[in-house]
Chain A
Amino acid sequence: MILESVEFSRYLTMLTLSVHVVFATVGVGVPLFIMIAHWIGLKREDQHYILMAKRWTRGYVISVAVGVVTGTAIALQLALLWPRFMEFAGQLVALPLFMETFAFFFEAIFLGIYLYTWNRFKNPKHHFYLLVPVVIGGAMSALFITSVNAFMNTPQGFTLLNGELTNIQPLLAMFNPAMPTKVAHVLSSAYMTAAFVLASIAAFHLLRGSRHEYHRKGLSLTMKVGFIFCIATALIGDLSGKFLAEYQPEKLAAAEWHFETKGEAPIILFGVLTETNEVKYAIEIPYALSILVHSNLSGEVTGLNDIPEEYHPPYVIHYFFDIMVSIGIGLTLLSMFYLLALKRNWAIIKTKLFRTFLVLTGPLAMLAIQAGWWFTEVGRQPWIMRGFMKTAEGATDSNYVWVMFIVFAFVYLILMIGTAVVLTRMFRNNPVEYEIDGLSKQEGLGEQRGVTV
């Protein structure tokens, strides 16, 4: 029975987090773009950008609402599904958890104010400044919560003596070895994903035949920023690989299906694994893993055979890793090509085919986020707290987890469908052309009125 609860607790946590991460990524990433658009709008006195900030905000609020409720769910589920783990880890990571709620509090407060104060300030810049705490609050809450997750991967800041915790250093626990790369990767990939999500919306309208300048401005803005964050994400991803080799060699080895400890190690892309642990149909890039880990061709990389089998993560994480990396590279190349073509005025970016690719960028980036989290989380099995507590030891012994799994699966389904329906209806019933017409009429009155969100 206990084993079953562990399995269902894992599935339910995975389900909640997979739903939450969609909205959390949008929640962290999109405010930056609202801020950029609003800033350009004020600087250039271009109503299109102001309108862009408004429309993005309107959609953003829906996603924040669902993000808040799924976030509340995961916060409570941590204690409901993993009571023994929380009892133990609560003494070590309460600080970042606590700080996260503060950060989120700020974001919530200022987002609320921003939404309801269009035109309530005499100086429009004052209204713009309200976005600063929203962006910072979002980034900070990502930082703190990721540091908790990083702690589970590389626990430190305490001594375990005969089952008793002593010598606790909360700051050391928070600034653990996994934290810098993890936080940086989470933030830059969130901004990157938000960029492509917004880009696919603009591309979708252009594909559907809208010729409005508004969408072109939106597309080029998001693609430019998206490209920058692609590069940043890739660089940080490289650092994360080096980190893994040093602190969690079993995760990297499982991701790469790297069995023999050796130098001149290749990176394996795609392929399948046979029952005797042979890799077939894979693309091998010679030396690449050694370069990734040690920055030289012959660096030795620990293989799975040198790690006790009971600590091996499931080998399936190889696929998650592949999905994440291939999408990352694909998006980088695509956005680079787009920027080049935009500069050189190539006609290809106006073709239907290319625009179809652009529409796909948002969903693909979101898939990469999911794959990346599955990779990192499944990759630390069998541990819930690496080196200290196995997943089975942290779970609840309640027998009803499977019921909750079914119920929550159903609720999340309703939420996802509801969000999709509401968001599409919201923008389809109020296309940008109407709003721009409205704007130019009002300008005749000598005053630009805010659209109530």
Chain B
Amino acid sequence: MTIEILGISVLWLFLFGYVIVASIDFGAGFFNASTIVTGKHHIVNSVIQRYLSPVWEITNVFLVFFFVGMIGFFPKTAYYFGTVLLIPISISIILLALRGSYYAFGTYGSKGHKGYTLMYGVTGVFIPASLTTALIVSQGGFIKETAKGTIELDYFALFTSPFSWSIVLLSLVSVLYISASFLAYYSSVAEDNGALKLFRKYTWIWSFPTIITALGIIVEMRWHNPSHFEGLLDLWWVFALSTLCFVTSLWYLRKARYGLSFIFVVLQFAFAFYAYGASRYPYLLYPYLTIYDGFTNQTMAISLVIVFVIGLMLLIPSLYLVFKLFIMNKPYIKNQKM
């Protein structure tokens, strides 16, 4: 394995980490807000708050981590993505800023402020949409060169492409699906039957749109980027595994084994995510940038890998502690006295 592939695998892992924790977070914010509107807020509020409060900050760090690592390992991406994505990513930053602060204002400041909760939910739905722009652009076909020899985003192509809208749609439904599945599990640990019933229903509702849009995108890829489509077909068996995990998770959901069901949801996305990533090989930004010509110098790459390993040795135990205290800790989740 070359160090380039190691670098991109590490980053892909962090992006995946962000996709999972952020999905839970965005979805939870959405359910939290939507149940205010539907009048079921009292059912889900406590479960959501108990999970979200200690971990909201960590979610954000995953994103920064991915991003800083990307520039570290592949400095050229700073030029390409930075130049092209000024507006879409600025919109994401603004939404993240509003969302993060509204959460803090609502949770630590004026408890139970409905305006903050609603803003928190609404921004959470738009963030995945604006962040996926980066993914869509990296697919190729949305960058145009100007007369001066510089590059810019082709907004017209972006907004009129069914392909880009399908990816936005996929990100939205999978956020709700992942989140519902996790919260179903979380409320089953809390033995909160009201919340459990609701989240189980949500999991069912959002599971099928997720798999349908995902399949739809693979088909669309055939016209959008034929060589990538070939790459996807070569990895058909990984997608098959992903589908198998999908079926298994639904089966466990039916059998009321919510922990296992959630694990299979994560596996389902892991397989699909890695297969998608591998099928793009070797492109970071089609057709401008591959992982080889965008890579940093060897010395920096090695030192980054060393720091990464040391960092993980500190990080994993700490995350385990969070997990033990807030996610796997029944008395805490159930709000019992310690």
Contact = CB atoms under 8 A, between A and B. Distances in A.
B108 A109 contact: no
Given A62-B109, A79-B81, A422-B105, A411 B97 contact: yes
Given A108-B57, A113-B322, A170-B299, A77 B93 contact: yes
Contacts of A98: 68-69, 72, 304, 307-308, 311
Contacts of A84: 79
Interface in A376-419: 396-398, 400-401, 403-404, 407-408, 411, 414-415, 418-419
Given A68-B100, A79-B82, A396-B82, A61 B108 contact: yes
Interface string A280-316: 0000000000000000000000000000000000000
B150 A112 contact: no
A354 interface: no
Given A422-B108, A422-B109, 11 more contacts: A71-B64, A91-B75, A98-B304, A98-B311, A105-B315, A109-B318, A115-B53, A120-B332, A169-B299, A400-B87, A426-B110
Nearest to B72: A94
A163 to B, nearest CB: 14
A169 to B, nearest CB: 7
Interface in A97-124: 97-102, 104-106, 108-113, 115-117, 119-120
Top 3 nearest A-B pairs (CB, nearest first) are: A90-B75, A94-B72, A65-B104
Contact of B54 (A86, A105, A116, A422): A116
A310 to B, nearest CB: 25
A398 B86 contact: yes
Interface of A: 58, 61-62, 64-66, 68-73, 75-77, 79-84, 86-92, 94-95, 97-102, 104-106, 108-113, 115-117, 119-120, 133, 165, 168-171, 396-398, 400-401, 403-404, 407-408, 411, 414-415, 418-419, 422-423, 425-426, 453
A411 B58 CA distance: 23
A418 B75 contact: no
B93 A109 contact: no
B89 A90 contact: no
Given A102-B314, A407-B94, A83 B304 contact: no
Nearest to A58: B108
Contacts of B152: 398
A73 B93 contact: yes
A138 to B, nearest CB: 13
A132 B250 CA distance: 44
Q: Which of B53, B90, B102, B103 has the most CB of A within 10 A?
A: B90
B65 A94 contact: no
A102 B311 contact: yes
Most buried by B among A94, A106, A396: A94
Contacts of B55: 112
Contact of B100 (A69, A86, A117, A404): A69
A87 B78 contact: yes
25 contacts: A72-B96, A91-B297, A92-B300, A98-B308, A99-B311, A112-B53, A112-B55, A112-B322, A115-B53, A116-B53, A116-B54, A116-B332, A120-B325, A168-B297, A170-B303, A398-B83, A400-B87, A404-B86, A404-B87, A411-B98, A414-B98, A418-B101, A419-B101, A422-B108, A422-B110
A76 B58 CA distance: 17
A82 B86 CA distance: 11
Interface residues of B, number: 67
Given A86-B75, A98-B69, A80 B64 contact: no
Contacts of A87: 75-76, 78-79
A62 B94 contact: no
B296 A91 contact: yes
Contacts of A62: 104-105, 108-109
A407 B90 contact: yes
Interface in B298-322: 299-300, 303-304, 307-308, 311, 314-315, 318-319, 321-322
B57 A64 contact: yes
Nearest to B91: A407
A75 B297 CA distance: 22
Interface string B275-312: 00000000000000000000011011001100110010
Contacts of B100: 65-66, 68-69, 72
Contacts of B315: 102, 105-106
B303 A95 contact: yes
Contacts of A73: 93, 96-97
A109 B67 contact: no
A318 B90 CA distance: 34
Nearest to A166: B297
A92 B301 CA distance: 10
Contact of A112 (B58, B300, B338): B58
B97 A415 contact: yes
A105 B58 contact: yes
